[in-house]
Structure 1
Amino acid sequence: MAMGCSKLLLFTYLGLQFLVPFTLAADPFFQSNCRSEPGNFTANSTYKANLDTIFSQLNRTSLTDFNFGFYNLSVGESTDDQINAVALCRGDRTQEQCNTCLNEAITDLKQRCPLNKEAIGWHEFCTLRYANRVIYGEMQSTPGSCLISGQKASNPDQFNLALDNLLNNLSGQAAAAGSLRKYAANNSELAAGLFQNVYAMMQCTPELSEEDCRACLTAAKGGISSCCFEETGCRVLRPSCFLRFETNLFYQNAVALPSPAPPTSTDESKQNRTGETEKTT
């Protein structure tokens, strides 16, 4: 399936880049995919009731456990009526921002995919998907969508080289990150003396293996050539991952992850014994 692509008015898109770090108004560039193949449900069905339960569990008042912006939910006993949902917030979003984003994504998906059994919604700060099948742990790189800035690079050769190197580095960092979050963001100077940077971000759902995350990000990176080649700004959106790049800073510092637990007294004793043995030999 071809990946959809939306061309945005440059002044609107760039103007929002400066606003979004400070406010989380509804995303005017929300992207969705209402899957027709799995079929539809009826308004008074058990499936509808289960989906409403999923939405209520994702409601901001219920999300007391932040879980670093990743949620895996399942409701329903019957195979026909069971719903599985996965929600992922961007790695630089706080719990409050994540909750707000998910609520907006729920509202948009209810409007755009009111009776679809399977749907995906891409908000600027989060992704929400649900289906009548297992999606947790399943890498999925289609269907997809993308958004472009509408502005071409004035120095495409330098821009593409810097972007390619940056995305290769970030995809490796994101894929190799731990099970709490697979996220990486950084910037690179286009070329010496140009005084211009490209900023990029890549993220996968964290339950994926390193191999699957890397494969998803590679597929997303491959979508640049068909969607936003030589554009100075783009979001490539996939079910299990996404990437974004701009020539202005659009991300914040990543939300801190917990420090590794200190070794237990048993572990310390074992280390001491090991050390004594090694010294003896």
Structure 2
Amino acid sequence: MAISKLFSLLPLLSMAVVLTLHTAMAADPLFHFCSNSGNFTPNSNYQNNLNQLLGDLYLKTPINGFGSGSAGKYSDQTYGLSLCRGDVSAADCKSCVADAGSALRDRCPYNKGAIIWYDNCLVKYSDEDFLGKIDNGNKFYMWNVQEVSNPEEFNRKTKELLSELAGKAYGVKSLYATGETELGAGGSSTTSEKLYGLVQCTRDLSGEDCKKCLDGAIGELPNCCDSKEGGRVVGGSCNFRYEIYPFVNDA
């Protein structure tokens, strides 16, 4: 899949990006950003609080696929969350959150805020309280370079499927939904006759804000994935993915 970073980043995160693409040998991050809101010094109270926060997320998240919280107080307080994809096992969730925390320590060693995405999870922290707020600034696109043979019909079905899933996700506790739809002959450049989709929000959002976040992401389909056989809009509060092959792990 090709990948693209989006324009503006909220004050939380900087425009400086190090991008690591997937390899066949390791589960590398999809993307990450380091904060430009400030740095902490080694062995400071902030670092101790951040270590505590990441440890808490590592313990809490695998239980139900999501964790959030804060550590410390006043100027040394840090806030964070972690989210695992809704079809990921507790063991794989735990492993992903551990990898994410370790990777952020390496890539953003003294930044007070950072965010990282993997296929299986997201981890985010900051010295600013972002919990319960839609993150519209930290976002990127991924897409399949193969194009469909009937773009107008395929784009319509893609938007319909993702909008239907968004309507389901915001009404359930997990803020997560998957589904599929028939494409029919000529729906893609392959022999595939089905389209598969997934949407998910971080569970610090209300159902209404989840729907708002997903509707905004789906509205970016023409910029992200027009006529592409697969694509994703991945953000700090919600994401969607669609493909012409099954990619969700069955329970």
Match of 2:41 in 1: 42
Identity level (%): 34
Q: Structure 1: where are the runs of 5+ without partners?
A: 17-24, 255-281
State the match for 1:131 in structure 2.
126
Alpha-carbon shift at residue 239 of structure 1 (Å): 0.8
The superposition leaves residues 65-86 of structure 1 with CA deviations (integer Å, 9 ceiling, x where unpaired) of 7441010121102x21101111
Q: Distance in 2 between matches of 1:101 and 1:68?
A: 14
| Match of residue 212 from structure 2 | 215
Q: What displacement does 1:182 show? A: 0.6
Match of 2:33 in 1: 33
Root-mean-square deviation (CA), in Å?
A: 2.7
Mapped to 2, the partners of 1:136 and 1:224 lie a distance apart of: 26
Are residues 219 and 27 of structure 1, via their aligned partners in 2, closer, same or farther at CA, if it must alter by over 3 Å? Answer: farther
Q: Which runs of structure 1 show a deviation greater than 6 angstroms over 4 or more consecutive aligned residues?
A: 3-9
* One-letter amino acid matched to 2:48: A
Aligned partner of 1:247: which letter? I
Distance 1:6 1:134 in 2: 24
1:141 matches 2:140: no
Between the two proteins, the alignment pairs up a number of residues equal to 235
* Structure whose alpha-carbon radius of gyration is higher: 1
The corresponding residue for 1:177 is 172
Look up the equivalent residue of 1:71 and give its one-letter code. G
Mapped to 1, the partners of 2:19 and 2:143 lie a distance apart of 5
Distance verdict in 2 for CA 1:31–1:7, change over 3 Å: closer
CA contact (8 A) 2:85 2:120 kept: yes
Q: State the TM-score, normalizing by the size of structure 1.
A: 0.76
**What do residues 10-43 of structure 1 show as CA deviations (whole Å, max 9, x unaligned)?**
xx88xx7xxxxxxxx743352111121x211122
**Deviation sequence 1:212-256 (CA, Å, 0-9, x none):** 0011111211232222222211221111111111111110236xx
2:1 aligned with 1:2: no
Are 2:181 and 1:188 aligned? yes
User: Closer, same or farther in 2 for the Cα pair 1:52/1:29, shift >3 Å?
Assistant: closer
1:154 to partner: Cα distance: 2.5
Q: Give the match's secondary structure for 1:176.
A: coil
Report what 1:248 is aligned to: 245
- Give the corresponding residue for 1:157: 152
What CA distance in whole angstroms lies between the structure 2 residues aligned with 1:118 and 1:87?
14
| Paired amino acid for 2:69 | L
Contact 2:20 2:30 in 1 (8 A): no
Aligned partners of 2:20 and 2:31 also within 8 Å: no
On the 8 A contact 2:148/2:227 being kept in 1, the answer is yes
Corresponding residue number in structure 2 for 1:22: none
Report the CA distance shift for 1:76/1:29 in structure 2 as closer, same or farther (over 3 A).
Answer: closer
- Are residues 1:197 and 2:190 paired? no
Whether the 8 Å CA contact 1:185–1:201 is kept in 2: the answer is yes
The 1-side partners of 2:153 and 2:101 are apart by: 40
Aligned counterpart, 1:265: none
Given candidates 221, 239, 244, the residue that maps to 2:236 is 239
- Deviation at residue 127 of structure 1 after TM alignment: 0.8
Cα distance, 1:156 vs. partner?
1.2
Shift of the 175–190 alpha-carbon distance from structure 1 to 2, 3 Å rule, reads same
Q: 2 CA distance for matches of 1:137 and 1:131?
A: 13
In the alignment, the residues of structure 2 paired with residue 7 and residue 245 of structure 1 have an alpha-carbon distance, to the nearest angstrom, of: 22
In 2, Cα distance between the equivalents of 1:82 and 1:162?
A: 45
Query: SS of the residue aligned with 1:32?
Result: strand
2:48 counterpart SS class:
helix
